[in-house]
Amino acid sequence: MASLQGGRDIWQHVNQERVKHYNQLQVNEQIGSAHFDIRTGGTLGCSIENGHLVQAGLQSLRENPAAQVSTDTQITGLSHQSGYLQVEVQTAETAQSVECRLLIGADGNRSSVKSLSQISTHGFSHN
């Protein structure tokens, strides 16, 4: 897992050739389905491969002198404080405590962020 601190707007660094805009979405679940369709020429959303998004984020952080990038880290603790999160981060060499207002868990289906946040999953596994 890579931890990113001090990030800014990364959209300007995204290779727009790798972005796929869509104006329709079909969702099927056990209890029913839903279809979203924007016919006015607008965009419902877009998708981009994770690797391209990560590279854009890293480029944005390189331009921020206050940013810190850490790789090979593990979140070992998480607590909710008044207005922020206290996150315990472990590397091979050190352990540190980081305060943040937003934590994005993009660490896979056995997410430590999800587990430490006590976010439950309902439904079936896609594995």
Residue (of 1, 120, 8) closest to 50 by Cα position: 1
Q: pTM for the full model?
A: 0.52
For residue 92, give Cα distances in angstroms to 28, 63, 70, 76: 43, 26, 11, 13
SS3 at position 47 = strand
Which of 10, 100, 1 is CA-nearest to residue 61?
A: 10
pLDDT tens-digit profile of 35-92?
888 877 778 888 888 888 888 888 888 888 877 676 788 899 999 899 999 999 998 8
> Looking at residue 127, what is its pLDDT?
54
Tens of pLDDT, residue by residue over 6-33, are: 445 788 888 889 988 888 888 888 888 8
